[in-house]
Amino acid sequence: MALDPLILSRLQFAFVISFHIIFPAFTIGLAAWLATVEGLRFATGRAVYRRIFDFWLRIFAVSFGLGVVSGIVMAFQFGTNWSVLAERAGPIQGPLIGYEAFTAFLLEATFFGVMLLGRDRVRPGTYLLACCMVSLGTILSSFWILANNTWMQVPIGHEVIDGRFVPTDWRGIVLGPVMLTRWLHMLLAAFLTTAICVAATGAWYVLRDIHRAEARVMLTWGLGLAAVLIPMQMFLGHLNGLYVYEHQPAKFAAIEARWKDEQPGTEVWLAWPDAARQENLLSIETPGIGSFIATGEWDAPMTGLESFPEEDRPPVVIPFFGFRIMVGMGLVMLAVSWMGTLLRVTGQLETSRWFLWVTFLAFPSGFIAVLTGWYTAEVGRQPWVIYGLLRTEDAVTPALTTTDALISLVVFVLVYGILGGFGVRYIYKLLREGPSGPSGAAPGAYGSRRPFARGDGPGVADGR
């Protein structure tokens, strides 16, 4: 593979966004989880909820900070590496990304400060409101990002004037059915990711026989929430499949590794798709049911990749495996959450050590599902950056040289490596220490107002 600005820019975007998405996926769920815990504390007044809240708030602050820092880079990349896209699609993507930035900014500037600093300065009801508003802010933030990405996947509500995409129907762009389906899918993915992490943390403490009261709450709520959410998520996933089938037939064929037109379609469960020979090796498949899975009809004709001009076909391997790994992780979450809830109800959860180990080891399942799901969606959209309208190869900055693109890629990998290394190590330390850790020695989030400016460092102004 020859290195050129196009492939380097794609690698850089993929790397930066893969790093970035981990933190929002976690913090969207954590913000909702914190609001829930604070709500429980408000309603019951039990001290255990306060300890759990304080603990997860520290982790939230660090993740939020890492998400913000890596997100700033994302915001500039459209201009630095994809300037043709920025110039031509800016009239639509600009306001969507702009609203996201303003929303996140507003959130950062107002209620997050109250959440980190204001516990002793505002009334409990106001504090709970601040927690809810922070959660709402992260949810709105995801809303705008998904509106932007959905327009790139299924562009609607625009006309082309002088090569530029000019918006004609904002309501359709922002609130279209495809957008809402994809957004809810991402939102539930974030909630599930966090629910499983909370449950896994609880399982870890029970296995080490520490923080038992807090661990019980985390297990009950984490597994319970996941158990409720995962069937909804699977249904939304199905709806997403329908939109892909309807609007992005080439991506659908790639996900299914369907090379030839078929009627009825075969469902390939697992295989090694061989792009050179355009066939599947070592295929495990069930003939005749592919059509039913996709459409609900037994003999619907299914379009294979052969029906698309070669230059319009997406890669097959990443969408094919990405989709299957995502679904696999969904099944893991289903099994863990339902089994766990069953054990919890029958009172055997905290004595079933094997299951606690399974829950603990399931902690990355949500993250893996989010990443592979996005790989499926984004790689499957290729060779288009705006599906059917603008090719990725035509969107790259014309003046960009291979050297510059290589420099920036290497720099981002190094910087994120350092940043992620320290950040993850710090989060791991917080998690290992647990809720009732020495709260005096680790004032964490309370020292100051902001994620990276927490005043357990410098003595801050005497105004406080």
Partner 1 sequence: MEIFSLAHLWAGIIAVAILVYVLLDGFDLGVGILFGMTRDGAKRGPMMAAIAPFWDGNETWLVVIGASLFAAFPAVYAVFLSAFYLPVLLLLVGLIFRGVAFEFRYRSERIRGVWDFGFAAGSTMAAFVQGAAVGAMMRGIPVEDGQFAGTSLEWLHPFPVLTGIGLVLGYALLGACWLVLKTEGAVADWARDMVFWMAIGVLAIVGPAIVAALTVDMSPGLTQAAARFGMLSSLGAAVGFYALLLLVACARLRLDGMLYPLGALFFAATFVALAGMMWPYMIPYTLTVQDAAAPEASLRFMLFAGVVILPVVAIYTIGVYWLFRGKVASSEEP
Contact 10, 382 (CB under 8 A): no
Least separation in angstroms between residue 51's CB and partner 1 is 23
Binding test (CB under 8 A) with partner 1, winner from 98, 249, 288, 420: 98
Measure the CA–CA gap between 236 and 230, rounded to whole angstroms.
10
Least separation in angstroms between residue 108's CB and partner 1 is 6
Binding test (CB under 8 A) with partner 1, winner from 3, 43, 47, 72: 72
List, in order, residues 6 or more apart from 460 with CB less than 8 Å away: 447, 448
**Cα 35 from chain centroid?**
20
- For residues 397 to 426, the per-residue mask of contacts with partner 1, x marking binding by CB under 8 A and - elsewhere, is xxxxx-xx--xx--x---x---x--x---x
DSSP letter at 307 equals G
Give the residue with the Cβ less far from partner 1, 144 or 191: 144
Contact 427, 23 (CB under 8 A): no
Q: Is 452 in the site for partner 1 (CB under 8 A)?
A: yes
Give the residue with the Cβ less far from partner 1, 188 or 409: 409
* DSSP assignment of 56-91: HHHHHHHHHHHHHHHHHHHHHHHHHT-HHHHHHHHH
Handedness of CA 154, 157, 158, 159 (dihedral sign): positive
Place of tokens 């709105």: 140
- For residues 108 to 147, the per-residue mask of contacts with partner 1, x marking binding by CB under 8 A and - elsewhere, is xxx--x----------------------------------
Which tokens sit at 216? 């019980």
Q: How far separated are the first and last CA of the chain, in Å rounded?
A: 58
Neighbour tally for 109: CB within 10 Å: 11
Which tokens sit at 118? 């204001």
Stretch that binds partner 1, among 85-93, 244-252, 359-367, 376-384 (CB under 8 A): 85-93
Angle between the N-to-C axes of helices 47-80 and 402-433, in degrees from 0 to 180, rounded to the nearest 10? 180
- What is the per-residue burial (b if ≥16 Cβ within 10 Å, else e) of 4-33? ebbbbbbbbbeebbebbbbbbbbbbbbbbb
Binding test (CB under 8 A) with partner 1, winner from 99, 151, 321, 363: 99
Name the pairing type of β-strands 390-391 and 158-161: unpaired
Give the residue with the Cβ less far from partner 1, 376 or 408: 408
Contact 28, 146 (CB under 8 A): no
Q: Is 95 in the site for partner 1 (CB under 8 A)?
A: yes
- Interaction with partner 1 in 429-448: which residues (CB under 8 A)? 448
Least separation in angstroms between residue 95's CB and partner 1 is 5
Measure the CA–CA gap between 454 and 426, rounded to whole angstroms.
14
Stretch that binds partner 1, among 90-98, 268-276, 330-338, 374-382 (CB under 8 A): 90-98
Least separation in angstroms between residue 417's CB and partner 1 is 12
Stretch that binds partner 1, among 25-33, 106-114, 236-244, 300-308 (CB under 8 A): 106-114
Give the residue with the Cβ less far from partner 1, 434 or 455: 455
Contact 168, 158 (CB under 8 A): yes
Q: Is 69 in the site for partner 1 (CB under 8 A)?
A: yes
To 5 degrees, how large is the angle CA 22–CA 26–CA 437?
120
Q: Is 428 in the site for partner 1 (CB under 8 A)?
A: no
Give the residue with the Cβ less far from partner 1, 87 or 285: 87
Give the residue with the Cβ less far from partner 1, 236 or 430: 430
Q: Is 393 in the site for partner 1 (CB under 8 A)?
A: no
Biggest alpha carbon–alpha carbon distance for the chain: 75
Stretch that binds partner 1, among 29-37, 88-96, 268-276, 285-293 (CB under 8 A): 88-96
To 5 degrees, how large is the angle CA 6–CA 8–CA 12?
120
Binding test (CB under 8 A) with partner 1, winner from 3, 45, 46, 79: 79
Least separation in angstroms between residue 138's CB and partner 1 is 16
Contact 301, 263 (CB under 8 A): yes
Least separation in angstroms between residue 409's CB and partner 1 is 10
- Interaction with partner 1 in 4-63: which residues (CB under 8 A)? none
Contact 158, 92 (CB under 8 A): yes
Give the residue with the Cβ less far from partner 1, 1 or 441: 441
- Interaction with partner 1 in 153-182: which residues (CB under 8 A)? 161, 164, 166-168, 170
Give the residue with the Cβ less far from partner 1, 94 or 301: 94
Measure the CA–CA gap between 159 and 142, rounded to whole angstroms.
26
Contacts with partner 1 by CB under 8 A lie at 65, 69, 72-73, 75-76, 78-80, 83-84, 86-87, 89-95, 97-103, 105-106, 108-110, 113, 161, 164, 166-168, 170, 397-401, 403-404, 407-408, 411, 415, 419, 422, 426, 448-464
